[in-house]
């Protein structure tokens, strides 16, 4: 992990500035985006090297183009995507959230659903690219408005296993190490910058 | 972005040879460094427990360095149900090298080995197999496999959940030699129709083939109880308490489910495999093989006859670390050396490299296992709803050739085109009749023709999916059983297929398929560790590919005649 095998072009970076404890929102026109412990922190890109800056930019643009506000939080005490997403849904004024792990795995959740249920799940992180993140944002916003959007088309690649399964396990273990037990979710602001390398 | 896109160039000038190597399929596979502290290690870890056992008053009070008060529920279950308390202290006192030698020594019978292994603790089993290289593991498997005759299992699924496709491919798969056929769904509500199609198609191809439909546990059990399926294997178990709890399960709940199948005389096995715990982030710092050995002993303790293992859906994890495939071969051996049926993996997409895919199967194919693949895709991998297998329909001729090259029996054979077409057509016709009899959405003659000549789901007319789903629901609501299928086949002129299915159903009354490693021959004779025990005792003994079966396996698609070299035989 210490020697990069590829030289990426300069790309945008993002850091998350903590604002304070995450609160329950009252605006019915918001989607809460919940980021995992290592997102835009210990890690800077997804399993297939999509920069977290790009992930957030697309997701927030997808939400905002529907006239809905995106509010960001970081969940610190778990790396379980269902838990992260459900915590966020319960804090969301609309009851809708998007939860994300550092490697890219994403879920749209709703506060009245069971924790292990969801509105849409995108389990195959290697297949998620910028346009998909934008569509996920857009769909989450449409749910927030009480609409019933067509689910984002899911992709499937049976050869994702030999290429990515072990790396996914490794990333999951690292994300686990970034868990801070007993620390509640915090409201964060995305600070975008011009990065030097990926 | 596709996951299989080639790696990006570094920007530096590369040698032409490096460019060629970079373009090789094997470099699309993922490889990672070990991380033993987190359990990302195959089988050699300083963090695995040291073997120990202590018995007091007929009860195990210490297991692999832990006192009973500190047992988690896996330790408790294994100590209470899996390990033979009477022989535990004596067996564990044997040097591991001695037990390893017994495993490979043709002069020591399988039963003599079992008398020792039934008392071993998980850490002791690991200590034994860690001494063995992959050739020794294969030699051990050759002797310890429970059933004398090896077999194979196929996947028969459809990307469109098209029942006609599943019936036709099941018939072809049965004809080619699969002793078991398994299906699953994209749209789960389709399950009753696809399970019926699999059963009917299989009994057309070769009477006595056993079928199962992988679903959530309650529906899978219900289809089994109704006799629409004949066995079950997708009952997953895990090597750590935390992963078990994550799935809202315990060893006792799994054992209860196993009991439900046994109560109806239905064959079943559990499923586990290296890598699942670390994949879920809860390996508790133990090696993949140590945790898998706990699963194997848990299965033994639950009283099930067998296990599907060999990493299965987590094969990308051991496949990415050093020595991973040695560990996978070892986990198959451990299942066999504690007298469980072993359906030995080779059932999930594993590598982009054809060379690596083939090599991965050698430790199972060469010594023979109860089921060399626990799911060879008997449909094109694009139709494989188990997310792709290590082998698919395109590999049939390669597989048959490898069997012929090495004179090993991997359970399949070459079948002539005319026989295949006949079986596929008959399966589609039989299903057409069954659907008509049960007032399910009709199957057209065009669909029958398509089924006869098709390769993949793309070669079939579209079904009216909503009608099919209503039909599927009505199968469940009307309480349709295997016997209804027999009646439907009989009354529509498919007497032989009806007989085949009825005979398979009758097995659940005799309970013969509950014996270890049971399959049914074409004459409906149960072949299991009871009446076909592995009697390998060195060169010239045990299962040998010879006689009529060897003559069958000498046939390939193209073999030049020695009598008249201007023609081909076959």
**Touching B: A residues 110-149, CB under 8 Å:** 124, 126-127, 129
Pairing relation of β-strands B526-527 and B519-520? antiparallel
Does the active-site annotation cover B308? yes
Does the active-site annotation cover B495? no
- The reported pLDDT for the residue numbered A158 is 87
Nearest-angstrom CA–CA distance, B517 and B529: 6
Nearest-angstrom CA–CA distance, A96 and A32: 7
Q: What is the pTM of this model?
A: 0.94
- The reported pLDDT for the residue numbered B2 is 43
Q: Which of B10, B11, B317 sits opposite A169 (nearest CB)?
A: B317
Query: Best of A51, A165, A198 to disrupt the B interface by mutation (most B CBs within 10 Å)?
Result: A165
Beta strands in A50-111 (DSSP E): 69-74, 96-100, 106-110
Name, in order, each residue with C-beta under 8 angstroms of B380's C-beta and a sequence gap of 6 or more: B392, B393, B394, B455, B456
Cα–Cα distances in Å, from B144 out to B117, B124, B210, B489, B528?
A: 11, 18, 24, 41, 14
Residues of chain B with pLDDT under 50: 1-3
Beta strands in B350-507 (DSSP E): 374-377
User: Which is the catalytic residue, given B34, B172, B182, B395?
Assistant: B182
Higher pLDDT, A7 or B356: B356
Among A109-123, A148-162, B66-80, the range scoring the smallest mean pLDDT is: A148-162
Does the active-site annotation cover B56? no
Residues of chain A contacting B291 with CB distance shorter than 8 Å: none
- The reported pLDDT for the residue numbered A195 is 56
Going from the N-terminus, what domains does chain A have, and what CATH number goes with each?
A: 12-147+161-190 (3.40.50.10150)
Q: What is the 3-state secondary structure (H, E, C) of B30-97?
A: CCCCCEHHHCECCCCCCCCCCCCEEEECCEEEEECCEEHHHCCHHHHHHHHHHCCHHHHHHHHHCCHH
User: Which is the catalytic residue, given B348, B374, B517, B528?
Assistant: B374
Among A10-24, A94-108, B325-339, B389-403, the range scoring the smallest mean pLDDT is: A10-24
Query: Best of B3, B242, B351 to disrupt the A interface by mutation (most A CBs within 10 Å)?
Result: B3
Give A162 to chain B, closest Cα distance, Å: 5
A41-85 pLDDT per residue, tens: 999 999 999 999 999 999 999 999 999 999 999 999 999 999 999
- The reported pLDDT for the residue numbered A5 is 45
Nearest-angstrom CA–CA distance, B50 and B386: 37
- Asked whether the predicted pLDDT for residue A157 surpasses 70, the reply is yes
- Asked whether the predicted pLDDT for residue A1 surpasses 80, the reply is no
Task: Give the nearest chain A residue to B387 (CA atoms).
Answer: A158
Asked if A129 and B1 come within 8 Å (Cβ–Cβ), the reply is yes
Closest by CA position to B270, among listed B366, B338, B189: B338
Per-residue confidence band for A194, with pLDDT thresholds at 50, 70 and 90: confident
- The reported pLDDT for the residue numbered A4 is 43
- The reported pLDDT for the residue numbered B7 is 66
- The reported pLDDT for the residue numbered A153 is 87
Per-residue confidence band for A10, with pLDDT thresholds at 50, 70 and 90: low
ipTM rounded to 2 decimals: 0.89
Asked if A173 and B40 come within 8 Å (Cβ–Cβ), the reply is yes
- The reported pLDDT for the residue numbered B474 is 98
- Asked whether the predicted pLDDT for residue A134 surpasses 50, the reply is yes
Q: How many whole angstroms from its chain centre is CA A48?
A: 15
A165 touching chain B per CB within 8 A: yes
Report the sign of the C-alpha dihedral through residues B202, B207, B210, B216, in that order: positive
- The reported pLDDT for the residue numbered B182 is 98
Sort B431 into a burial class: Cβ within 10 Å, 0-12 / 13-18 / 19+: buried
Asked if B279 and A163 come within 8 Å (Cβ–Cβ), the reply is no
Residues of chain A contacting B31 with CB distance shorter than 8 Å: 166
CA-based angle B351:B356:B358, to the nearest 5? 110
A&B contacts, CB < 8 Å:
102
Q: In whole numbers, what is the pLDDT of chain A averaged over residues?
A: 92
Q: What is the DSSP letter of B314?
A: G
**Touching A: B residues 385-414, CB under 8 Å:** 387-388
Task: Give the nearest chain A residue to B351 (CA atoms).
Answer: A162
Among A92-106, A119-133, A154-168, the range scoring the smallest mean pLDDT is: A154-168
- The reported pLDDT for the residue numbered B5 is 61
């Amino acid at each position: 992990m210490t020697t990069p095998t590829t030289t990426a072009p300069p790309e945008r970076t993002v850091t998350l500035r903590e604002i304070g404890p995450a609160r329950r929102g009252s605006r019915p026109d918001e989607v809460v985006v919940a980021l995992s412990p290592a997102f835009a922190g210990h890690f800077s890109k997804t399993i297939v090297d999509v920069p977290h800056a790009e992930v957030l930019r697309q997701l927030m643009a997808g939400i905002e183009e529907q006239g809905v506000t995106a509010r960001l939080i970081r969940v610190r005490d778990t790396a379980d995507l269902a838990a992260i997403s459900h915590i966020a849904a319960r804090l969301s004024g609309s009851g809708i959230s998007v939860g994300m792990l550092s490697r890219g795995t994403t879920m749209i959740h709703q506060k009245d659903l069971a924790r292990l249920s969801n509105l849409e799940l995108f389990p195959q992180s290697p297949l998620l690219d910028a346009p998909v993140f934008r569509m996920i944002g857009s769909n989450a916003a449409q749910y927030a408005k009480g609409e019933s959007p067509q689910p984002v088309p899911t992709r499937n690649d049976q050869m994702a296993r030999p290429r990515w399964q072990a790396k996914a396990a490794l990333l999951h273990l690292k994300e686990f190490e970034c868990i801070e037990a007993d620390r509640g979710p915090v409201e964060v602001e995305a600070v975008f910058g011009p990065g030097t390398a990926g | 972005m596709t996951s299989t896109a080639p790696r990006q160039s570094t920007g530096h000038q590369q040698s032409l040879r490096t460019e060629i190597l970079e373009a090789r399929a094997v470099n699309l596979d993922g490889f990672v460094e070990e991380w033993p502290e987190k359990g990302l290690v195959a089988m050699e870890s300083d963090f695995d427990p040291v073997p120990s056992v202590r018995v007091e008053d007929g009860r195990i009070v210490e297991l692999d360095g832990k006192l009973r008060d500190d047992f988690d529920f896996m330790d408790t279950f294994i100590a209470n149900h899996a390990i033979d308390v009477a022989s535990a202290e004596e067996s564990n006192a044997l040097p591991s090298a001695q037990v390893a030698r017994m495993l490979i020594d043709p002069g020591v019978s399988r039963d003599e080995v079992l008398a020792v292994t039934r008392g071993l603790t998980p850490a002791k089993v690991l200590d034994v197999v860690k001494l063995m290289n992959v050739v020794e593991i294969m030699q051990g498997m050759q002797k310890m496999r429970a059933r004398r005759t090896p077999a194979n299992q196929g996947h028969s699924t459809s990307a469109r959940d098209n029942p006609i496709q599943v019936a036709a491919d099941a018939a072809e798969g049965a004809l080619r030699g699969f002793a078991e056929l398994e299906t699953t769904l994209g749209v789960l509500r389709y399950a009753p129709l696809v399970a019926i199609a699999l059963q009917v198609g299989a009994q057309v191809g070769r009477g006595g083939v056993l079928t199962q439909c992988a679903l959530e546990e309650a529906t899978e059990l219900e289809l089994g109880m109704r006799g629409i399926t004949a066995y079950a294997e997708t009952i997953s178990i895990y090597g750590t308490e935390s992963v078990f709890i994550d799935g809202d399960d315990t060893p006792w709940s799994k054992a209860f489910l196993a009991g439900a199948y046994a109560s109806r005389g239905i064959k079943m096995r559990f499923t586990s495999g290296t890598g699942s715990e670390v994949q879920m982030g809860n390996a508790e710092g133990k090696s993949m093989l140590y945790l898998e050995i706990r699963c194997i002993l848990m299965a033994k303790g639950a009283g099930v006859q067998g296990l599907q293992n060999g990493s299965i859906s987590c094969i990308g994890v051991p496949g990415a670390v050093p020595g991973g495939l040695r560990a996978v071969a070892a986990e198959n051996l451990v299942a066999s050396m504690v007298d469980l049926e072993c359906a030995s993996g080779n059932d999930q997409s594993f590598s982009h490299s054809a060379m690596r895919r083939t090599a991965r199967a050698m430790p199972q194919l060469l010594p023979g296992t109860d089921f060399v693949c626990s799911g060879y895709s008997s449909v094109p991998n694009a139709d494989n709803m188990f997310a792709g297998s290590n082998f698919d329909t395109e590999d049939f001729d390669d597989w048959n050739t490898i069997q012929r090259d090495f004179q090993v029996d991997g359970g399949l054979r070459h079948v002539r085109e005319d026989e295949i077409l006949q079986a596929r057509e008959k399966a589609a016709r039989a299903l057409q009749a069954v659907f008509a009899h049960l007032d399910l959405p009709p199957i057209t003659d065009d669909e029958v023709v398509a089924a006869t000549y098709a390769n993949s789901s793309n070669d079939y007319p579209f079904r009216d999916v909503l009608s099919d789903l209503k039909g599927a629901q009505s199968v469940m609501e009307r309480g349709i059983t295997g016997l209804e299928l027999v009646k439907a086949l009989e009354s529509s002129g498919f007497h032989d297929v009806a007989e085949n299915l009825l005979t398979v159903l009758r097995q659940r009354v005799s309970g013969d398929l509950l014996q270890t490693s049971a399959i049914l021959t074409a004459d409906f004779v149960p072949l299991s560790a009871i009446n076909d025990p592995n009697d390998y005792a060195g060169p010239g003994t045990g299962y040998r590919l010879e006689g009529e079966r060897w003559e069958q396996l000498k046939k390939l698609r193209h073999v030049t005649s020695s009598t008249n070299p201007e023609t081909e035989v076959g």
